[in-house]
């Protein structure tokens, strides 16, 4: 009898090890039967911004791979508050996810009593890319490069309208970083979304905006904007003549990102299946071809993503302390 128990126990161990090996090699399915119906991808931004464009690429790839629609559900407003509040109230069954940008790392600093906790109410799925910004000015702005911009802004404190996609958002924080690095003072004009800043920038009502690389390049090549600096450490081959801010003597460096989260308590096997699918898709040439050279594609584990955005939160907390600014979601 005891021999049979030992044999059965050994067999179960062998099967468990085999199953674990299969999953590690991508041969197993951590959540059989998922998804069995459409999946909602809450997008707390207005259509047209970088996070929307990138999120749709990944959503479409998930749809094709997993056999069910991964549907973008736009709920912009309130520095992501509208979409985040909605998603936090959804059942954690694996059928609701939220596309988040770098702004997600600032939410713990600006959400005091918004009806949700940006960290406790959500579980991380994956960090998916990093991308840099191009500091763009309207064509009639009296500065041709970053050095001239700094000189103008210093001579005219408060006269520069710095467009952002919302108070506390990444464009706002990039502006604060630039002010701190250059000793300048600007007037922030907060729009409902990142995409809403571009028409006013092209029309000259906003004077300067940090624009995501992929969205900036077409507007620059069409002559609709002027670029004065790149937020990376090295130049990008797509715009070889555009110097970085660091090259121009200004310590302004920043990379934005796209990530995916889900309501807290979503079953780990489902989270792992979505993350694993994204990790596999990112390696495929078809998906890679949809992103330009300015992107670094990656598929972090949930734990890696959590460490990343918590570190970002600490970075912005220090920036707020150094600048004396109180971030607000209003």
% of the chain at pLDDT higher than 90: 63
Is the pTM higher than 0.95? The answer reads: no
Which CATH number fits the domain that encloses residue 115? 3.40.190.150
206-227 per-position pLDDT tens digit: 999 999 887 898 999 999 999 9
Highest mean pLDDT among 114-118, 228-232, 312-316 belongs to 228-232
Do 119 and 261 lie in one domain? The reply is yes
Q: From CA 297, how far away is CA 77, in angstroms rounded? A: 27
Task: Give the mean model confidence (pLDDT) for residues 26-38.
Answer: 86
Query: Which pLDDT band holds residue 157 (cuts at 50, 70, 90)?
Result: very high
**d(C-alpha 2, C-alpha 195), whole Å:** 69
For residues 209 and 136, the answer to whether their CB atoms sit within 8 Å is yes
**Domain CATH number, residue 200:** 3.40.190.10
Mean local confidence (pLDDT), 240-252: 95
What's the total number of domains in the chain?
2
Tell whether 112 and 64 lie within a shared domain: yes
Closest C-alpha to 308, from 251, 252, 232, 256: 256
Residue 25 has a pLDDT of: 38
Condensed to tens digits (0 to 9), the pLDDT of residues 65-106 reads 999 999 999 999 887 889 999 999 999 999 999 999 988 988
Q: Is residue 3 part of a domain?
A: no
Q: How far apart are CA 88 and CA 71, in angstroms?
A: 17
- Both tokens of 199, joined, read 């028409």
Same domain, 108 and 163: no
> Which of 214, 230, 246 lies at the terminal end of a domain, its last residue?
230
Output the average pLDDT for the chain: 87
Q: What's the pLDDT band for 15 if we cut at 50, 70, 90?
A: very low
Do 177 and 199 have their domain in common? yes
- Structure tokens that stand for 196 in this block: 């809403």
Quote the pLDDT of residue 227: 97
**Shared-domain flag, residues 121 and 139:** no
Range of the domain at 298: 35-130+255-323
Residue 62 and residue 84 in one domain: yes
Averaged over 185-199, what is the pLDDT?
A: 90
Residue 14 has pLDDT above 50, yes or no: no
Residue 272: Cβ-neighbour burial (10 angstroms; 0-12, 13-18, 19+): middle
Q: Are residues 48 and 126 in the same domain?
A: yes
186 and 269 share one domain: no
Examine residue 151 and state whether it is found in any structural domain, yes or no: yes
Residues 50 and 121 in one domain: yes
Q: Which tens digits make up the pLDDT trace of 274-325?
A: 999 999 999 999 999 998 777 889 889 999 999 999 999 998 888 888 877 7
Nearest to 251 by CA among 182, 176, 189: 182
The residue written with tokens 């905006």 in the block is 209
Q: Is residue 212 part of a domain?
A: yes
């Amino acid at each position: 009898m005891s021999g049979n128990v030992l044999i059965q126990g050994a067999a179960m161990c062998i099967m468990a090890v085999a199953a674990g090996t299969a999953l590690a090699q991508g041969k197993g399915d951590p959540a059989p039967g998922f998804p069995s119906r459409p999946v909602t991808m809450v997008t707390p931004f207005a259509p047209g911004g970088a996070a929307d464009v990138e999120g749709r690429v990944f959503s479409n790839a998930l749809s094709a791979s997993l056999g069910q629609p991964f549907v973008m559900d736009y709920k912009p407003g309130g520095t992501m508050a509208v979409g985040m509040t909605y998603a936090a109230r959804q059942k954690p069954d694996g059928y609701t996810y939220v596309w988040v940008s770098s702004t997600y790392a600032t939410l713990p600093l600006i959400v005091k009593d918004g009806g949700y906790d940006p960290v406790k109410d959500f579980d991380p799925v994956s960090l998916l890319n990093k991308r840099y910004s191009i500091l763009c000015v309207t064509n009639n702005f009296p500065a041709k490069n970053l050095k001239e911009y700094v000189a103008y802004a210093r001579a005219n404190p408060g006269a520069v309208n710095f467009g952002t996609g919302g108070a506390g958002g990444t464009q706002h924080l990039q502006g604060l970083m630039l002010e701190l690095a250059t000793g300048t003072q600007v007037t922030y004009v907060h729009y409902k979304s990142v995409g809403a800043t571009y028409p006013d920038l092209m029309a000259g009502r906003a004077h300067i905006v940090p624009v995501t690389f992929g969205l900036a390049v077409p507007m620059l090549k069409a002559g609709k904007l002027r670029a004065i600096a790149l937020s990376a450490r090295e130049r990008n081959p797509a715009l070889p003549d555009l110097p970085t801010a660091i090259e121009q003597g200004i310590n302004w460096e920043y990379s934005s990102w796209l990530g995916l989260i889900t309501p807290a308590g979503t079953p780990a096997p489902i989270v792992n299946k979505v993350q694993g699918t994204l990790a596999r898709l990112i390696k495929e040439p078809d998906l890679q071809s949809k992103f330009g050279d300015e992107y670094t594609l990656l598929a972090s584990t949930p734990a890696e993503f959590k460490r990343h955005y918590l570190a970002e939160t600490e970075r912005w907390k220090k920036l707020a302390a150094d600048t004396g600014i109180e971030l607000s979601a209003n």
